[in-house]
Amino acid sequence: SQTIHQWPATLVQPVGSPLSLECTVEGTSNPNLYWYRQAAGRGLQLLFYSVGIGQISSEVPQNLSASRPQDRQFILSSKKLLLSDSGFYLCAWRNVGTSGRQFFGPGTRLTVL
Amino acid sequence: EDKVVQSPLSLVVHEGDTVTLNCSYEVTNFRSLLWYKQEKKAPTFLFMLTSSGIEKKSGRLSSILDKKELFSILNITATQTGDSAVYLCAGQGGSEKLVFGKGTKLTVNP
């Protein structure tokens, strides 16, 4: 069966510090991968998605970047965090060629102080 | 711009009540409507609907889609405290994106 991992679970970082969040999927090959952010009082906002190694699509202009160095690994990064980057970051995957159903990881709670 | 609107934003009921959660959408090249339940962390999948009038059921939960009027409802009968969660609705269009609503926070009191 497929599982999705995210780490760390929680993170407190100062403004201006770098960020690296990691997501890995097991039990499937060539998944589509997604990064979402969920801010308080707002819905899930798609940040990036990837349909293959090295292929990244950005949905909103922002202070963040994403990379996919391996088939089942998706990384969210920032060189300098802003206060507005605080939120709950969720990674998701789905099988190519199937329906739109996406499966979510446990998430990372990021607080920027 | 694609948009999904959920109502109400929050709802407090007593155990045993029946609730109806609403989701309206405007999604270009609409393909499907998805419902998720989010308790503390990861949203968990409930239903995906692609055709009007086809009701999906899972125990006490059911959902139906109206593609003409562009909305969906999620019904929960005989609510239990374990149903307390945020219920998210998302629309999928022609791209990879799922467009999510802000969610309905359901609180079921004993």
Closest chain B residue to A91 measured between Cα atoms? Answer: B42
Give per-residue pLDDT as tens, B51-97: 777 788 889 999 999 988 899 999 999 999 999 999 999 999 877 78
* pLDDT number for residue A98: 64
Return the HEC string of chain B: CCEEEEECCEEEEECCCCEEEEEEEECCCCCEEEEEEECCCCCEEEEEECCCCCCEEECCEEEEEECCCCEEEEEECCCCHHHCEEEEEEEECCCCCEEECCCEEEEEEC
Range of the domain at B53: 3-109
User: Measuring CA to CA, how many Å separate B99 from each of A36, B81, B103?
Assistant: 11, 28, 12
Q: Which of A2, A35, A38, A91 is best to mutate for the B interface (most B CBs within 10 A)?
A: A38
Neighbouring-strand partners of residue A103: A93
pLDDT greater than 80 at residue B36: yes
Question: Other C-beta atoms within 10 Å of B97: how many?
Answer: 19
Q: Is A73 on the interface with B (CB under 8 A)?
A: no
Tokens 């679970």, residue?
A9
Give per-residue pLDDT as tens, A32-76: 999 999 987 778 999 999 999 999 998 876 789 999 999 999 999
CATH of A3-112, one of 2.60.40.10, 1.10.1130.10, 2.102.10.10, 3.40.50.2000: 2.60.40.10
**Domain count along chain B:** 1
For residue B23, list chain A residues with Cβ-Cβ distance below 8 A: none
Give the integer Cα–Cα distance in Å for A68 and A23.
10
For residue A93, list chain B residues with Cβ-Cβ distance below 8 A: none
Closest chain A residue to B92 measured between Cα atoms? Answer: A100
Supply the CATH number for residue B17's domain.
Answer: 2.60.40.10
* pLDDT number for residue B54: 75
Residues B25 and B68 sit within 8 Å (Cβ to Cβ): no
Q: How far apart are the first and last CA of chain A?
A: 38
Contact B43 A90 (CB under 8 A): yes
